[in-house]
Amino acid sequence: MSIQYPIDLHIHSTISDGLETPAELYARARREGITAIALCDHDTVAGVPLMQEVIRQEEALTPDSPPIRYLPSIELSTGDGGHAHLLGFGVNYQDEKLLSALEEMQEERAQRSRRMICLLKKQGIRFCTHVEEELTRPGTGRAHIARALLDMGAVNTMQQAFDRYLARGKCAYIARRYMSIADGVSLLTGAGATVVLAHPCRLNPDPQGLRALVMELMDAGLSGLEAYHPSASRQQAPLIDSMARSLGLLVTGGSDYHGDTNCCVRMGRMPSGWQDPESDLQALLERING
Ligand SMILES: [Zn+2]
Ligand SMILES: [Zn+2]
């Protein structure tokens, strides 16, 4: 069972593969009674100053409403196949080493999109020129291509786009190179971030294997686990929660909201069982500011 929380520490905007702009996300948070958000766009911090500006303007317009607390953040893809996602909360979006690593990733990603589009052409699928241009801009990825395939009617669902063309081993799949998880943790901590392993159940559903990995990453500077995420079952979420606490790690939660109105993910919606999100948020903020 999932429930609505007033805190959402994992949302995406149009700056990566979300469908809503930072301003639209802020407005949604207001409407839905969310009091704290973290914009965690994939492999980019370009949304951080945009969201800061949105908040500055909104607060000037509505000085009497309590401000929504905002954590500048990023979701970094690392590890084999890029499947290990790290949330870097409180990241310094001007850190030069981080920016150059991200730029390299974005360029590699655009090159990969170009190669995948060529492979789709061999399957008889051609995007119109302006869509192709959009899809080969730095920062685009498989989710963008899947959505374009859906929009042109080549598939009926995003999942079908992956199952037929884009998943590993399928005809239009190109592998990417990623930094190791430990290198990702170091890169983010170097940029002043407090690093949390995103949706750990997706990475390794076996609790013992996960615990071993987490302990290894703690040596690299990992600070917490995202226990409450839609990918965790009602049983798994409390297990991750207690694993984190037993290791002295922070606990976070986020919906991974991407703006898709045709799926069940909603801002603030996560598995039930998170006892005290506010005090866990305070602990995170103390770590970020400490
Ligand atoms: Zn993720
Ligand atoms: Zn995400």
Residue 44's identity, in one-letter code, is T
Q: What is the DSSP string of 11-53?
A: E--TTTT-SS-HHHHHHHHHHTT--EEEE--BT--THHHHHHH
Q: Which ligand is nearest to the CA of 38?
A: 2
Q: If one looks up domain 2-93+178-289 in CATH, what number appears?
A: 3.20.20.140
Dist. CA 203 → ligand 1 center (Å): 10
Residue indicated by tokens 């990241």: 91
Q: What is the model's pLDDT at position 21?
A: 97
Dist. CA 82 → ligand 1 center (Å): 10
Q: What is the model's pLDDT at position 114?
A: 94
pLDDT in tens, 110-123: 899 999 999 999 99
Dist. CA 82 → ligand 2 center (Å): 12
Dist. CA 86 → ligand 2 center (Å): 9
Dist. CA 287 → ligand 2 center (Å): 22
Q: What is the model's pLDDT at position 262?
A: 63
Q: What is the model's pLDDT at position 66?
A: 86
Dist. CA 118 → ligand 2 center (Å): 27
Dist. CA 259 → ligand 2 center (Å): 12
**Domains of the chain, residue spans:** 2-93+178-289, 101-166
Dist. CA 199 → ligand 1 center (Å): 7
Cα 114 to the chain's mean position, in Å?
A: 23
Dist. CA 282 → ligand 1 center (Å): 23
Closest CA relative to residue 38, chosen from 26, 54, 21: 26
Q: Which CATH class is domain 101-166?
A: mainly alpha
Closest CA relative to residue 205, chosen from 83, 103, 110: 83
pTM for this structure?
0.87
Q: What is the model's pLDDT at position 205?
A: 83
Cα 282 to the chain's mean position, in Å?
A: 21
DSSP at 129: H
Q: Which ligand is nearest to the CA of 201?
A: 1
pLDDT along the chain (290 residues), means of 10: 95 93 96 96 96 94 89 97 95 98 90 95 95 86 93 95 96 93 98 98 91 97 98 94 98 94 84 97 96
Dist. CA 199 → ligand 2 center (Å): 9
Dist. CA 39 → ligand 2 center (Å): 9
Contact (CB, 8 A) for 26 and 55: yes
